[in-house]
Structure 1
Amino acid sequence: MNDTPSMKKNFIYNTIYQIILVLMPFITTPYLSRILGSKMIGIQSYTESIQAYFLLLANLGTSVYGTREIAQHRNDVHERSQLFWEIELLSIFTSTISLIGWIFLIIMNSRYQVYYIAMIPHFFATMFDISWFYRGLERFRLPVTQSIFFIILEFIAMILFVKTQSDLLTYITILSTSKLFTSLSLWKYLQQYTIKINFRTLKFEHHFKQTFCYFIPTIATSVYTILDRTLLGLFTEDSSQNGYYFQSEKIINVAKSLSSTAINSVVGVRISYLFSKNKIAEIQQRINHSLNYILFMSIGSACGITVIAHNFVPLFFGEDFIKVEYLLYILCPIIIITGISNCLGSHYYTPSGRRIQSTIYLIVGSVINLVLNLILIPSFDAFGAAAASVFAELIISILYITNSNGYMTFQLLIQSGWKKLLAGIIMIILVYPLGLKMININKLFLILLQSILGIIVYLFILLILKDNWIILYTNKLFQKIRRIL
């Protein structure tokens, strides 16, 4: 396979997928919030956080490592076939070990036992997930289309079978089986991209060592993305606190997906290939372009959520989740902060093979987050967990930038971001008060009005400030319009 996959097409596929991921919570969350309530949502959040540790062990870093290895050997069909089976069989082995541990947990723990049983298909989904192989080949269409298909089926099943608060078990079962079928569906295309190999020649020791290097930073990352919910479940008697935090995270994660996930996934794979060819100038150019895009989207998203949160939360989640509004105010900076760190992680540290270096920074941030959680959660519940996460993410981003060997600098960050940040602040100052004053207007109409005005103000201020990135793409847009006319 010597053809170069289209980055534009891959970006479109990934963007479509991210849009679907964005739209589905906007459809399902209001329904589930009102049907299940904050306590049941809290139970789901806590049990998912417990399983997440076992799934991390099951994956053992093979997803990120596998994508990188396939990307670097994509033009050699024998080498990539050999790599696929070595990495996939290793994944099956680690997933089996993790599943045994999960079964032991079920036997020993009677609390939430029935929900833990319903989550078992998740392990087989991880075991047979080969989406990393297609991402390494930059064939994003296959995993994206299959994922979208099963997301739609998952939604239909939820509407048909989740009707009351007692249907949490049904909902968890739907989620886990959907993930399993998504993973299995990708296997039917495998023979198009691999050849038969001699299984006696397979070697696993090297891959185990390498995946373990990827596993450590994943664990470190998870300390502040999963442990928050685990500690909330352990230190607070009210499961609703977990429900509030879980729902606020959903909104933040949607914004993060729109802001950076699509471009990081696509460009990160291409940069792995460029590092193997030592094309340093092109790597720097792509990092700069990605950073501008991520700052534009993440600052706009963070400020936009701040503007509409007051009216959005009660309309979207219901009155039972009113505390989510204040959690969103605390968590919004994470959209910008993680956009920067994830850009460096996917564009520099991972493709250049510096995972051990990034692991150290992640561990530092994770320890800080853990300590702050232990101090803040007993007194401030979900608000303490939110504040701890923001501070930990900030420390990690600072460490990432400081040690990126010039691929990203604070000077570059300020040059690329200050106009966007100023535009976002002006947007908040001008548009946020409307949500407090226009109390007699329909909430949905008011949210739409604030959103549209916010976008207009944000773009208008950027044009006035002559932000280089927005000017560049405005000119490109006008050029395309002229060609059409």
Structure 2
Amino acid sequence: MTTVRNIARNSLFLFSGQIISLVLGAFYFFYMARYLGEVNLGILSLALSITVIIGLIGDLGLSSLMTREVSRNQSTAPKYLGNFLLMKTLLAIITFGITVIVVSLLGYSEQKANVVYIITLSNIALNFTQVFNSAFQAFERFEFQSLGTILNSILMTVGVLFAVEQKFDLISFASIYLIVNAIIFVSSFFVCMRKFAVPDLKIDWTFWKQTISESIPFWLNSVFVIIYFKTDMVMLSMIKGDAMVGWYAASYRLIDALSIIPVVLMSSMYPVFSRFYVSSRDSLQFALSKSFKLLAIIAIPIGIGTTILAERIIVFLYGAQFLPSVSALQILIWASVLSFVNYPPSTYFTSTNRQTTLMVFTFIGAILNIILNLILIPRFSYNGAAVATVSSELVVGLLMIYSIHKIQNSSTLFSDFILKSLIAGAFMAVFILIFQNYILILLILLAAIVYFIVLYILKGFEKEDIDLFYQVFGR
């Protein structure tokens, strides 16, 4: 199977799983949001944000390192699995201890504290699952990760429906996350044992020291990214209250849902980038430029369309009680656009042993985000938090692209396709404004068709893009 076909196969598995997960996830989240209301949704979203931040301690960048190294030498899988599972057991204990300290310092109510504790345990289970997902990625067998994603969404949907039917309280909704992630962890463990490798549960202190030193830049990069994507909810809660967090989280959920597109593609590309780095630098540059182009072409119409249709989208999904979320969505969608085009450069840095450089860039973004949040949230509430997120993503993206241009001494990423995409987006915007009262789903579909037709007429697709399409589908 050619590299292109293999990438397409893995992307298809991941994308199928993520689409099913997106549909089910959207359903249970919107259903849960309507039941809980903005205040309880704000508390749950706050707990999810806090535990994601503290939960970074439970990984230390080990998962990313494992995917890169095992994809280069699959015979090392048992050693990585065994040692990393032991490491994460120790890190899980530390994570929960730090959570208890943070909750105590913040003076949370008993209900809010219990929600945070339960979600922390859920996140710990998720961290263990990521070890096995890293193995699936390294062996380029993404169907198993995809099946885990689908199972997670099915179980969450069933759990939420049952909880709403039984009129459960907020603690019960938090418990659903824990139960589901525990089930996924156990199932992933048995799949890995049966299909790939049995973990070699022997402590190798030299290996620990070496891998931790290599993984720290991966970890710090994740820390800084999470800071400028998650601390805004924590700060918003402290400054403006849980209702504001609920409205902000409603918009943010849509941004998270859209992230499946770059995540799927670049998860498939990560082991490929890693192999190309040691086997073919020309192939690596080609893969980088095509990944960037594809994600930019997809992101631009999403940004334009969502900005125009934000109010209809929010009311359709959440109801009129979440109308304050509209302005946040119109701003945050551009953070999503920037995130799309930032994924290929960030994958390039991690797969080419330049994770330290990426760490510096994301550190700059994190500091900028904190400063902007402190300035903007008191005055503009959740809209200020949204502006801070967009600004941080923009700065980090510019730093990465500039650095890649210096490394390769070429204009690898930018070409006239950006301008053509914007022109096609303008035609699409006019179409949406003219027919904005049509059925929402139909309008979105027709707008997408208009965009791609105009882009094709403008020759936004090169011959090699079409050739790649034929390779993917075997024609």
Give the structure-2-normalised TM-score.
Answer: 0.91
Corresponding residue for 2:288?
Answer: 287
Q: Distance in 2 between matches of 1:358 and 1:344?
A: 9
1:225 and 1:182 map into 2 onto residues whose CA distance is 25
Tell me if structure 2 keeps the 8 A contact 1:36–1:168: yes
* In 1, Cα distance between equivalents of 2:197 and 2:344: 31
1:91-116 deviation digits (Å, cap 9, x = unpaired) = 22212211222244456645212212
Measure, in 1, the Cα distance between the counterparts of 2:412 and 2:311.
35
One-letter code aligned to 1:134: F
Partner of 2:222: 218
Q: CA deviation at 1:195?
A: 5.4
Please give the residue correspondences for 1:228-267 in structure 2 after superposition, counting only pairs within 5 Å: 228-237=232-241, 239-258=242-261, 260-267=262-269
- Counterpart of 1:458? 451
Q: Secondary structure at the match of 1:15?
A: helix
Superposed, 1:41-440 pairs within 5 Å as 41-74=41-74, 77=75, 79-105=76-102, 109-111=107-109, 112-119=112-119, 120-129=121-130, 130-163=132-165, 167-191=169-193, 192-194=195-197, 197=200, 199=202, 203-237=207-241, 239-258=242-261, 260-277=262-279, 279-346=280-347, 348-404=348-404, 405=406, 412-435=413-436, 438=437
Name which of structure 1's ranges 43-52 and 407-416 shifts more when overlaid on structure 2.
407-416
Moved more, 348-357 or 460-469: 460-469
What is the Cα deviation at residue 33 of structure 1? 2.4
Native 8 Å contact 1:38 1:240 kept in 2? yes
SS in 2 for 1:468: coil
The aligned counterpart of 1:20 is 20
- For residues 23-70 of structure 1, what are the alpha-carbon distances to aligned partners after superposition, in whole Å with 9 as ceiling and x for unaligned? 123322331222111111111111212112221111111121111121
**Cα distance change of structure 1 residues 291 and 272 upon mapping to structure 2, 3 Å threshold:** same
Q: CA deviation at 1:395?
A: 0.5
Distance 1:273 1:214 in 2: 18
Secondary structure of the corresponding residue to residue 352 of structure 2: coil
- For the structure 1 residues 125 and 450, does the alpha-carbon distance in structure 2 shift closer, same or farther, using more than 3 Å as the test? closer
User: Alpha-carbon deviation of 1:288?
Assistant: 1.6
- 1:88 to 1:200, Cα distance in 2 relative to 1, 3 A: closer
Q: CA RMSD in A?
A: 2.7
Post-superposition shift, 1:164? 7.8
Which residue in the other structure is 1:441 paired with?
none
- Whether the 8 Å CA contact 2:25–2:157 is kept in 1: the answer is no
Q: Give the letter aligned to residue 113 of structure 2.
A: Q
- Provide the rounded CA distance (Å) in 2 between the counterparts of 1:64 and 1:302: 29
Q: Secondary structure at the match of 1:226?
A: helix
CA contact (8 A) 2:428 2:447 kept: yes
The alpha carbon displacement at 1:415 in A equals 2.3
Offset of residue 303 of structure 1: 2.0
Cα drift, residue 480 of structure 1? 7.5
User: What is the CA deviation profile of residues 9-35 of structure 1, one whole-angstrom value per residue up to 9, with x for unaligned ones?
Assistant: 211111112212321233223312221
Q: Contact between 2:25 and 2:153, CA under 8 Å: does it hold in 1? A: no
Partner SS for 1:60 = coil
1:341-361 deviation digits (Å, cap 9, x = unpaired): 111111x10000111111111
**1:314, 1:128 → 2: CA distance?**
35
Aligned 1:31-42 pairs, distance under 5 A: 31-42=31-42
Structure 2 unmatched ranges of 5 or more: none
- Describe the superposition over 1:340-396 as per-residue Cα deviations: whole angstroms up to 9, x where unpaired: 2111111x1000011111111111111111111000000110000001111111010
| Change in CA separation of 1:20 and 1:218 when aligned onto 2, cut-off 3 Å | same
The one-letter amino acid paired with 2:219 is F
Cα distance in 2 for partners of 1:189, 1:154 equals 21
Instruction: Report the secondary structure of 2:140's partner residue.
Output: coil
Q: Structure 1 residue 128: deviation in Å?
A: 4.9
Q: Secondary structure at the match of 1:6?
A: helix
Specify whether residues 480 and 315 from structure 1 end up closer, same or farther in structure 2 by C-alpha distance, changes over 3 A only.
Answer: closer
Deviations 1:175-208 (A, max 9, x none): 1221121122111133332257582656311112
SS at match of 2:435: helix
Which range moves more in the overlay, 161-170 or 80-89?
161-170
Deviation at 1:250, TM superposition (A): 1.2
Q: Is the 8 A contact 1:125 1:181 kept in 2?
A: no
- Which whole-Å CA distance do the structure 2 matches of 1:253 and 1:325 have between them? 16
- Tell me: CA distance 1:5–1:273, structure 2 relative to 1, closer, same or farther (3 Å): farther
State whether residues 4 and 471 of structure 2, in contact with CA within 8 Å, keep that contact through their aligned partners in structure 1. no
The answer as to whether partners of 1:67 and 1:133 remain within 8 angstroms in 2 is yes
Amino acid at match of 2:308: V
2:389 and 2:461 mapped to 1: Cα distance? 32
Structure 2 counterpart of 1:360, which letter? V
Shift in Å, 1:219: 0.9
CA contact (8 A) 1:29 1:317 kept: no
C-alpha contact 2:292 2:413 (8 A) present in aligned 1: no
Q: 1:400 to 1:4 in 2, by over 3 A?
A: closer
Q: CA deviation at 1:335?
A: 2.2
By how many angstroms is 1:291 displaced? 1.3
- Indicate the SS of the match to 1:395: helix
Residues 1:376 and 1:46: Cα distance change in structure 2 (over 3 Å): same
Count residues in correspondence: 465
5+ residue gaps, structure 1, are 439-444
Whole-Å separation in 2 of the counterparts to 1:321 and 1:344: 35
The 1:216–1:182 alpha-carbon spacing in structure 2 relative to 1, beyond 3 Å, is same
Q: Which has the higher mean CA deviation after the structures are superposed, 316-325 or 296-305?
A: 296-305
